[in-house]
């Protein structure tokens, strides 16, 4: 029975704890033992938090026995991307430059999930400083992709996705600055939620680009993502009951999201759109000028902020940084301040234009990634290939970040192919409800 726990959703595990069928202590031990035994465990987790997990699980067991559970995820294990501070335990953001960095306090989101009763299993591997969508990290570790042992898993929340996909955590918490939750979720057939910037606190999270950094869950189901969001913001979960696609107005975003798209992502996406249509959604297709122009501003908007955040540390020992990551950081040093400010002013106008153009739709739909997970060995050997694949990988997801939206990716049923739904800022509850209906439609196929 305990082996089955590793395949269950976080919500189902929580219900089992509430019913008295699952002991939180046995549940934590099951996952921790699985991590230790798994041949890729050390490539997924940078470190486990066994002592903390046992203490938290014992407390959850006591609450369950007393009928005092704090919520639906009380006693459910969670993995944390290694950029969220955990008191007294190293948080290194996938970088040799931060090796041995031990914070004194939990990140605010870690503290919130702890108050909700979740059990912290450990810290998962990630791309250096979260600055790549591929998940390749020769400095610490490159976690596996669930669908291809030779491919990268997507990043930067690479270990977060792998921890759930390989049954080593029921739910994971990652971060998304340009796609870092949604890409690994899509490539490992998971649900990934990018929250609106500012909805969840970043206190105690190692930054990359603070004007874009967001926190979000990676999970097996929309319900799990909804419960994780509720715990992260210490609020009520959205009501997903009776969610229906009938009459939902969906805009398939044409143009840039389909440029250079590969065959499998194109076919998987179109099959998914057909399933949504069959479930009663009203499908419209059109490009949007605001999207095309926003994408053209990506380099000047992102790279100076990332460079300004880490330039001093990077230049103390640049040889410790994977060359393509260092190059990407350094690309931000040559932009003029006036051009950066002008780009942000224009982006603000484009955000307003996008919201006006999409006001008549319930959600905008697009392929999560236009490519499949690339081969890890080739990425290591071919610098140009790394650069082009990384930019292509993040292009579609970056739309949601640039335009300040909330977004969610769902598995399409085609391995490593996701379909994304985007909504205006702070509309996560509406997004999750629509996604729950879409999830049912996609499973029916």
pLDDT in tens, 291-300: 999 999 999 9
CA gyration radius, the chain: 20
- What Å distances lie between residue 162 and 31, 149, 396, CA to CA? 14, 12, 22
**pTM recorded for the entire structure:** 0.98
pLDDT in tens, 100-159: 999 999 999 999 999 999 999 999 999 999 999 999 999 999 999 999 999 999 999 999
What is the average per-residue pLDDT within 65-84?
Answer: 98
Separation between Cα atoms, residue 310 and residue 312, nearest integer Å: 6
pLDDT of 1 reads: 64
294 in the same domain as 216? no
- Catalytic-role residue among 95, 157, 175, 180: 180
336 in the same domain as 209? no
Strands 249-253 and 282-286, bridge-based pairing: parallel
131 in the same domain as 56? yes
pLDDT of 338 reads: 97
82 in the same domain as 12? yes
Q: Side by side, which strands form the sheet with 282-286?
A: 45-48, 119-124, 77-81, 171-176, 214-219, 191-194, 406-411, 418-423, 363-367, 249-253, 282-286
pLDDT in tens, 245-254: 999 999 999 9
In a domain, 297, yes or no: yes
285 in the same domain as 138? no
pLDDT of 57 reads: 98
Spatial contact of 142 and 43, defined as CB atoms under 8 Å apart: yes
Separation between Cα atoms, residue 330 and residue 310, nearest integer Å: 10
163 noted as active-site residue: no
346 in the same domain as 411? yes
What is the average per-residue pLDDT within 282-311?
Answer: 98
In this predicted structure, the answer to whether residue 68 has a pLDDT above a threshold of 70 is yes
In a domain, 318, yes or no: yes
Long-range Cβ pairs for the range 32-37 (8 Å, 24+)? 32/121, 34/6, 34/167, 34/168, 35/121, 35/122, 35/168
In this predicted structure, the answer to whether residue 160 has a pLDDT above a threshold of 90 is yes
Spatial contact of 313 and 95, defined as CB atoms under 8 Å apart: no
- Catalytic-role residue among 156, 163, 175, 420: 156
Tokens at 257, concatenated: 């999201």
What is the average per-residue pLDDT within 259-274?
Answer: 98
**Tokens 């490593």, residue located:** 416
374 in the same domain as 336? yes
For residue 149, give the DSSP letter. T
Query: DSSP assignment of 203-272, as one string?
Result: TTB--S-TTT-EEEEEESSHHHHHHHHHHHTTSPPP--TT---TT-EEEEE-SGGGTT--HHHHHHHHHH
104 in the same domain as 35? yes
Tokens at 382, concatenated: 């071919």
166 in the same domain as 272? no
**Tokens 């591929």, residue located:** 134
- Within a 13 Å sphere around the CA of 395, how many CA atoms are in the beta-carbon half? 24
In a domain, 243, yes or no: no
pLDDT of 372 reads: 98
In a domain, 437, yes or no: yes
Per the structure, the complete domain to which residue 411 belongs is given by: 249-444
pLDDT of 388 reads: 97
Q: What is the CATH number of the domain that holds 389?
A: 3.90.1300.10
304 in the same domain as 406? yes
177 in the same domain as 59? yes
Separation between Cα atoms, residue 423 and residue 103, nearest integer Å: 35
In a domain, 101, yes or no: yes
In this predicted structure, the answer to whether residue 2 has a pLDDT above a threshold of 90 is no
In a domain, 330, yes or no: yes
79 noted as active-site residue: no
Name the domain count of the chain.
Answer: 2
- Catalytic-role residue among 9, 79, 81, 163: 81
Strands 363-367 and 249-253, bridge-based pairing: parallel
Q: How many helices (H) and strands (E) does the chain have?
A: 17, 11
305 in the same domain as 219? no
Distant-in-sequence, close-in-space partners of 198: CB < 8 Å, separation ≥ 6: none
Average pLDDT, the chain: 98
156 noted as active-site residue: yes
In a domain, 237, yes or no: no
In a domain, 327, yes or no: yes
- What Å distances lie between residue 401 and 90, 109, 288, 370, 395, CA to CA? 29, 20, 16, 17, 10
């Amino acid at each position: 029975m305990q082996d089955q726990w590793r395949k269950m959703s976080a919500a189902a595990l929580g219900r089992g704890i509430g019913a008295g069928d699952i002991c939180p202590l046995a549940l934590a031990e099951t996952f921790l033992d699985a991590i230790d035994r798994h041949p890729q465990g050390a490539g997924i987790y940078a470190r486990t938090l066994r002592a903390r997990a046992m203490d938290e699980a014992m407390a959850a067991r006591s609450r369950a026995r007393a009928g005092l559970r704090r919520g639906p995820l009380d006693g459910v294990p969670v993995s944390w991307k290694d950029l969220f501070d955990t008191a007294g335990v190293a948080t290194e953001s996938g970088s040799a430059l931060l090796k041995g960095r031990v914070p004194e306090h939990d990140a605010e989101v870690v503290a919130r999930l702890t108050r909700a009763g979740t059990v912290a299993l450990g810290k998962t591997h990630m791309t250096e400083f979260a600055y790549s969508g591929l998940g390749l990290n020769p400095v610490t570790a490159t976690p596996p992709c669930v669908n291809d042992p030779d491919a990268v898993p997507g990043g930067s929340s690479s270990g977060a996705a792998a921890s759930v996909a390989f049954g080593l955590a029921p739910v994971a918490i990652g971060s998304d600055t340009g796609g870092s939750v949604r890409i690994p979720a899509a490539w490992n057939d998971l649900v990934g939620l990018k929250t609106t910037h500012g909805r969840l606190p970043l206190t105690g999270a190692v930054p990359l680009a603070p004007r874009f950094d967001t926190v979000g869950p990676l999970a097996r189901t929309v319900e799990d993502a909804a419960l994780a969001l509720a715990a992260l913001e210490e609020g009520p979960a959205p009501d997903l009951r009776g969610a229906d696609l009938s009459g939902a107005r969906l805009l398939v975003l044409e143009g840039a999201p389909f440029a250079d798209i590969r065959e499998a992502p194109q076919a998987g996406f179109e099959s998914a759109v057909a399933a949504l249509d069959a479930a009663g959604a009203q499908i419209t297709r059109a490009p949007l000028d605001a999207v095309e122009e926003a994408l053209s501003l990506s380099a000047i908007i992102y790279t100076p902020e990332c460079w300004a955040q880490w330039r001093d540390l990077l230049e103390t020992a640049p040889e410790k940084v994977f060359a393509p990551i260092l190059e990407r950081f350094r690309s931000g040093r040559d932009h003029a301040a006036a051009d950066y400010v002008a780009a942000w002013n224009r982006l603000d106008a484009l955000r307003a234009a996008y919201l006006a153009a999409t006001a008549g739709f319930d959600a905008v739909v697009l392929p999560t990634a236009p490519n499949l997970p690339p081969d890890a060995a080739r990425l290591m050997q071919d610098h140009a290939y790394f650069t082009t694949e990384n930019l292509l990988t993040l292009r579609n997801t970056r739309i949601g970040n640039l335009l300040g939206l909330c977004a969610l990716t769902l598995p399409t049923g085609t391995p490593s192919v996701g379909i994304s739904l985007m909504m205006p800022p702070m509309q996560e509850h509406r997004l999750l409800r629509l996604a729950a209906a879409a999830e049912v439609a996609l499973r029916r196929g």
